[in-house]
Amino acid sequence: MSRADHRHRHLERIAEVRAGRHAEKVPYPIRIRQAEVVRTEMIGSGLLRVTLGGPGTAGFEAHSPDEHVKILFPELDPEPRLPVQDGDMLRWPKPSPTSREYTVRRYDPASGELDLDVALHEGGLGSGWAEKVTPGTPVHVAGPPGGLIVPHNYDRYLLAGDVTALPAIARWLEELPRTAAGWAFIEVTGASEEIELSAPEDVEVHWLHRGDIAPGASDVLARAVQTIEVPAGERLYAWVAGEAGQIKPLRRWLKNDLGLGKDDHDVTGYWKRGVADFDDEHDH
């Protein structure tokens, strides 16, 4: 089967899920690309946008607000090895090269520009890289391996997360139909981390200020989210991401109190306090 047929198949599946009743993860053909840094800019005081481009980003697959890529840091490894393309998959060396995962904030097929918004935190490997990297620097990007495709026919949407989830929530709000209704709850340190969002008119956006409490140590998000009331008989889709410990109560609440089935919610620990390279604790 030619690559074109493969490509066609996952695009067909994305269209089917989008038109269906429930969300589903759909795998895409996975690529390793060498891109280069075009520019960097601050987005609010909490996110640093790294824009990648060059010939390597042509044909990038972008279909879902929660999809992510791995930025590879082979130079940090004793033997700098990269994954190898194997059909529509990547073959990863063992041990895997040092990497960090980032949400795809935007891909523009016309310019080939790919925006990754990096949450800044002291001592973070990716954060430190984003702050120092200069235009023209080559960057190895793997993925995305696929994305969560969510139908646009739910009655309401609930989006919730901290600043690490803000790039995905911002993209969610842009890509939802303008007729969508629901809520977005975003935990930030304070007003300086708030950014402009293109939310549908009937989606209420709540910025929650954590203040002096350390990142990942506040229950402000879980408390605020649990105040929503879903009208009887309406179908809700919920997407939650952030610090693994703080979103745990929401995992239980969505299942037990709201009675959402596994295909109607997605809860992902993007990071964990005190763990440098946390592998997401995923549940949907």
Q: Each residue's pLDDT tens digit in the chain (284 positions)?
A: 445 555 589 999 999 999 999 999 999 999 999 999 999 999 999 999 999 999 999 999 999 999 999 999 998 999 889 999 999 999 999 999 999 999 999 999 999 999 999 999 888 899 999 999 999 999 999 999 999 999 999 999 999 999 999 999 999 999 999 999 999 999 999 999 999 999 999 999 999 999 999 999 999 999 999 999 999 999 999 999 999 999 999 999 999 999 999 999 999 999 998 777 666 545 44
Give start and end residues of each alpha helix (H) in the chain. Answer: 3-19, 125-132, 166-175, 220-225, 244-256
The contacts found for 120-123 with CB under 8 angstroms, 24 or more apart, are 120/46, 120/47, 120/48, 121/215
User: For the segment 243-276, what is each residue's pLDDT rounded down to a tens digit?
Assistant: 999 999 999 999 999 999 999 999 999 999 877 7
Cis ω before 95 (30° cut-off from 0) = yes
Domains of the chain: 30-147 (2.40.30.10), 152-271 (3.40.50.80)
Instruction: Name the pTM for this structure.
Output: 0.94
pLDDT at 278: 65
